[in-house]
Amino acid sequence: MPSTICNTITVLSITALLSACALSPRSHEGDASASVTQQASAPAASPASSSAGSLADAGRPFSSDQLPLPDAGRTRDSDRQQLPAARLQPVVTHSADIIIVERQKDAVTQALTEESATARLNRIMAQKSAQPSAAAKVATTAKPAKSPRVAQNAASKSKSNQRSARTAPASKADKAAMAKNEETATLPPGAQTAATAQPTKNFKDGIWQRIRERLALEEVTHERIDEQIDHLRRHPGYISTLSQRAEPYLHYIVELIDQRGLPMDMVIVPMVESAFQPLAVSPKEAAGLWQFIPTTGQQRGLTLADGYDGRYDIHASTKAALNHLSYLNKLFNGDWLLALAAYNAGEGTVKRAIEANQKEALGTTFWDLKLPAETQAYVPKILALSRVISDPQTYQVKLRKINNAPQLVRVVVKPEVNLADAIMVTGMVAEDFYRFNPAFKPDVPPPAQTYNLLLPLDKAEVLVDNLAGTQLMAPRKVIVKKGETLATIAQRHGVSHLKLAQWNKLSGKTVLKTGQQLIVYPVSQG
């Protein structure tokens, strides 16, 4: 009898063990792994004060197991009807050292100086034009080059807690420009001297060269930035994966940033916020590329409804994010580091930290403030990526080649247009349509209003040619005729001559030359 009991107990134990193994989640299966779950539980800014809750792990540097990921175990549409299994292929092929949450089956889913953004950008660009390129510097250096880590640490030790993204006080003209409505962008860098500038500059190195030439924060130095750079160098798959995910949307977002005359460092924000995952959702309910929480999204004009969530809309959310960043930059007197900190932690959090330091007669730069751990890591991550993008060879990082050419164009769709009809007319597979337009939810009609669709040019042309109530909003090239001025061309196209000058990096008083090529962006409420 005792033998029988022992045998029975043994069999039951083995059975229980096998059952537990069978129920255990397998690596990379579903939407999360154990390591991702740990990331999702990292400290974050309070949703009541944070304007855009970052998915990045708080207080820790980049690494292969810390790629910002959606909330563990769920994405936006986890309760929606499942899509056919044939549509579940990942959008990008990721590097072997990256852990990626695959898309769910239904996821189509005054101590502050006052240098304005324009003044700083003009100064940076003037310095760049007067200096040799990074490659030329390397080629003409006689001494053996120190490692980036050693060189940057040497600078950091003498400048720690002193240097920020600002210098001289703003002029009266700059202050007046900053006071304009945030939708009215000031002239971009070089506008006062680029009398013969051409908007169709050939960027041989693609979109990264275009971004590189308009970076404004890559000069900022600090030990915390160096730590992030070290991790980026050790984990090149991080940037590789970011590039793959960003590729469909990068040119479109760069265009919007360029139109606003903002520094190209802003394109790095969604890299840190969401790792360029349009359907990303954080534990704090921040969503989309730019990680808006619902309240901030609605304050910035984004529609949140059953069939449409503007936080996932590439065009609408980018416009809202750039508006919000511009507002924060003005609020903190042109200091982009404080603006970025406020984007992550909320403007109230940053203001209170500044006031606390002022009471103690302490410094009020970003590096001096007592901010949430996530924010203290968030800004250095953006600055580290800015520096690496500005000079990838020095940091031994290879950027994925992405052409400086649009992959998507915008089509304005009026309220009377049925979304299902639009998809059918384009001839696109539904998954591809929702990939570029993730704000819409399959089988859930969106509210009747005007929308902006992003489509490949050929599909956009088919849609506009065959469906009433649609308008293609792609930029056009204009050849200047004899006697034409900025004012006459602007009037003909229904835009202000200052905006036309801004788009083409010209002064408002530039005298045009016959045959000169200009670019004109369409006017739209969206």
Residue with structure tokens 């930059």?
Answer: 329
For residue 292, what is the DSSP state?
A: B
Residue with structure tokens 């042109």?
Answer: 334
| Strands across the sheet containing 451-455 | 451-455, 409-413, 470-472
281-284: which pairs have CB atoms within 8 A and are 24 or more residues apart?
281/70, 281/71, 281/74, 281/75, 281/76, 282/40, 282/44, 282/53, 282/54, 282/55, 282/70, 282/71, 283/40, 283/41, 283/44, 283/53, 283/71, 284/44, 284/45, 284/47, 284/50, 284/53
Q: Residue 411 is inside which H or E element, if any?
A: strand 409-413
Answer yes or no: 273 catalytic. Answer: yes
Nearest to 268 by CA among 389, 125, 99, 373: 389
Residues 6 or more apart whose Cβ sits within 8 Å of residue 129: 190
Tokens of 83: 């899509």
Catalytic residue chosen out of the listed positions 115, 273, 347, 374: 273
Residues 6 or more apart whose Cβ sits within 8 Å of residue 8: none
CA 458-322-330 angle, to 5 degrees, is 155
Cα–Cα distances in angstroms (integers) from residue 359 to residues 4, 249, 364, in the given order: 78, 45, 11
Which runs of consecutive H residues, i.e. helices, occur in 61-198?
117-130, 134-140, 148-159, 172-178
Q: How far apart are CA 33 and CA 342, in angstroms?
A: 31
Residues 6 or more apart whose Cβ sits within 8 Å of residue 5: none
Task: Give the per-residue SS3 of 425-444.
Answer: HHCCCHHHHHHHCCCECCCC
Q: Which residues are catalytic?
A: 273
